[in-house]
Chain A
């Protein structure tokens, strides 16, 4: 299962949209990394007010990829719950008004398939349209869907995205669940932290993908998902994935991991690092994106820009330099909330 990536756009807590600068690190405030949103000049005020933040960011990141009236043959989005802030507003209204005199705006806006359907509306796109919501593998499953579509129709082009937002509701719930740090944690101290939890993050990343190699910036040559809480099982599965998918004589030049400062999750990243020899460079991204269920889409955006020679790896990302002479093969490994793991192999096109 593979596809070529032709365009990529990303709205994230870093300067990744418009004039891109990922050298200068934008840091977390109160353990949250909020996305730097553009002004969305293409949406009028009324349209903007009717969008949840997820929809706004998702549609905003998709727009540059749909310029020249390009109509992808499908729109595939991964998101955990999409408009959780709007969902939360509606849940609050239900309780506070005792299920009476409610307005439907937040209910409609909070539906997770609003991102893909809003993009379809903007693009007047009546083609395939699907929203994957499998928590920490929502994006990987969306990418697998896109890979199957490309396998079924190699000449077609698809819009693939990963979107999630920080909302008061999910931040509170996930903090109660132990997934965000309870003590203040600066971005530059994230990887030295010895406690549970990470920084909270959000973002929207969009790609146009197809089976066409010409003009592509990167190739996603393989993807796998693993469901296990056992470090040994996960290590074995990643090892098998690499030996099966990486052609003989090639090596992983860079391991890009979702290490996130959560002491409970660290053993999985450590196990993955142990699979690769000292020559492999290691870089991390969660101090840039924060932790969110579809953060691997941010990692794929970085990987495409690195193998495509569009961006250099900033110093603040590097954990181990290794022998980084050329950058042709990147392994992205990410795990979310222990139990869901995704691997993506990204190569030069």
Chain B
């Protein structure tokens, strides 16, 4: 079987509107987490820090030439990253609409970013019905599918914070099972009252910039953004830029609690272990882990223990949540792009805001930008409902 290679990447996040802008911020250690960005109308805007994409929804519509009604911010962010990824891979309109081109996207907010509009509609507002057809998760990818006339498999998944890792895994499996020759995979989420209030009610939002893996971490910051990757069979990609290959993936459930991980971290451990097995690698082969590292008390401690259990001695690791915030359904895709950059540029990016290791665990993440020889990167994503997925990217 051919290897599956990454031939195109696209990303929009709080640290930049393109791969180049994101890369520059990663290198400089420049965070995108701020208070009061101005594009997210909520009582918490200005009170809590967010990883906000600093462009208004109207500006996105203009920039992307979206004129039809009912298109949500989530969809616009997705479209922005999708466009960059397919241009990067040089996919033609014919390739996009070919029967063997698939689109697999993830989102946990979808059209539910329109909290106020939904409220009005569900309470009998029949005059402003622009968004009644776009309230669900599928609306994001259905818009892209229509716009680019994609006729192959189109799918949307939602497994909370691991959603887009599963989209990437699913895309690879479509290729391996002969159901697609090329797949465009990723995820998107916009800041929404829905998720901000949900996480706030769970008391896991920090009122300062998050500090993943730090002893004094106070919780996570929510962010928004989107990323897509074009995956192709290596034999179809001759002559193309080949960033990395997707060499392994593992999906497991923690089966412990709806919104927190088990103390033993069975789900994270099993996801990482099966990703290694699927890649045919040993723990010692991994050069770097892009950790889930949300900055919550529960995640960082459990993830640390699970990594220690599997790896014994850990390779370099870091969380990029201090740059972008936790972008939920977009997180794994954005971090997949960063993992691909680790390999392509042979460098590591810092885990921001770290000062003191978690007592008893004593793990220290990468704290600066530096060159490194990187062959295999693991990227972790663990979500509500115990949905855990790990991916392995390797040097082509």
Residue tally, chain B, CB below 8 Å to A: 67
Contacts of A326 in B (CB 8 A): none
Chain B positions within 8 Å of A109 at CB level: 258
Q: List residues of chain A with CB within 8 A of the CB of B193.
A: 94, 99
Binds B, one of A26-34, A114-122, A282-290, A297-305: A114-122
Q: Which of B105-139 contact A (CB under 8 A)?
A: 108, 112, 115-116, 118-119, 121-124, 126, 129, 132-133, 135-139
Q: Is the Cβ of B118 less than 8 Å from the Cβ of A112?
A: no
Would A80 and B138 be within 8 Å (CB), given that A104-B202, A126-B270 are in contact?
yes
Give the nearest-CB partner of B141 in chain A. Answer: A134
Q: How many angstroms between the C-alpha atoms of A152 and B172 in the bound complex?
A: 13
| B65 in the interface (beta carbon within 8 A) | no
Interface 1/0s, chain B 263-305, versus A by CB < 8 A?
A: 0001100100000000000000000000000000000000000
**Does A195 touch B at the CB level, under 8 Å?**
no
**Are A111 and B177 neighbours in the complex by a CB distance under 8 Å?**
no
Q: In the complex, how many angstroms separate the beta carbon of A198 from the nearest chain B beta carbon?
A: 16
Do residues A1 and B270 form an inter-chain contact, with CB atoms below 8 A? Answer: no
Contact yes or no, B156 A133, CB < 8 A: yes
Contact B121 A172 (CB under 8 A): yes
Least CB distance from B272 to A in Å reads: 13
Please tell me if B159 contacts chain A, counting CB pairs below 8 Å. yes
Q: Mark A215-244, 1 if CB is under 8 A from B, else 0.
A: 000000000010110000000000000000
Known: A148-B173, A169-B118. A176 touches B132 (CB 8 A): yes
Q: For chain B residues 11-57, which have a beta carbon within 8 Å of chain A?
A: 42-44
| Total inter-chain residue pairs, C-beta < 8 Å | 201
Contact residues in B for A129 (Cβ distance below 8 Å): 159, 251-253, 385-387
A266 at interface, CB cutoff 8 A: no
B196 to chain A: which residues have CB within 8 Å?
A: 99
Chain A contacts with B in 137-151, Cβ cutoff 8 A: 137-138, 141, 144-145, 148, 151
Q: Which of A83-91, A183-191, A317-325 contacts B (4 or more CB under 8 A)?
A: A83-91
| Complex Cα gap A75–B150 (Å) | 28
Can you name the residue of chain B whose Cβ is closest to the Cβ of A168?
B122
In contact, B253 and A127 (Cβ under 8 angstroms): yes
Do A121 and B255 touch across chains, with their CB atoms under 8 A apart?
yes
- Which of B145, B155, B267: most chain A Cβ within 10 A? B155
Instruction: Provide the B147-166 mask, 1 if CB < 8 A to any CB of A, else 0.
Output: 00011011111111000001
The docked-state distance in angstroms from the alpha carbon of A114 to that of B257 is: 10
Contact at A111–B384, with CB atoms within 8 Å? yes
Q: Which of A93, A121, A129, A228 has the most chain B CB atoms inside 10 A of its CB? A: A129
Instruction: Report A149-178 residues with CB < 8 Å from chain B CB.
Output: 151-152, 168-170, 172-174, 176-177
Q: Please determine whether B255 and A125 come into contact, CB atoms closer than 8 angstroms.
A: yes
Contact assessment for A91 and B118 in the assembled complex, using a CB-CB cutoff below 8 Å: yes
**What CA separation (Å) do A339 and B257 show in the bound complex?**
37
User: What distance in Å separates the Cβ of A293 from its nearest Cβ neighbour in chain B?
Assistant: 8
Shortest CB distance B185–A (Å)? 14
Q: Are B253 and A133 in contact (CB under 8 A)?
A: no
Residues of B within 8 A of A98 (CB): 43
CB of B157 within 8 A of CB of A225, answer no
CB-based contact B258/A131 at 8 Å: no
CA–CA, A121 to B267, complex, Å? 12
A107 CA to B258 CA, complexed, in Å:
11
For residue A194, CB closer than 8 A to chain B, the reply is: no
Complex interface residues of chain B between 50 and 79 (CB less than 8 A to chain A): none
Q: Point out the residues of chain B lying under 8 angstroms from A316, CB to CB.
A: none
Beyond contacts A129-B251, A135-B137: 6 other A-B pairs, Cβ-Cβ < 8 A, are A91-B194, A99-B42, A131-B159, A138-B156, A148-B179, A176-B129
Q: 6 pairs across A/B with beta carbons < 8 Å? A: A92-B122, A111-B384, A129-B385, A130-B166, A131-B159, A148-B174
Give the 10 A-B residue pairs with the shortest CB-CB distance, closest first.
A117-B385, A107-B198, A135-B138, A104-B201, A129-B253, A134-B156, A113-B385, A120-B253, A102-B201, A133-B137
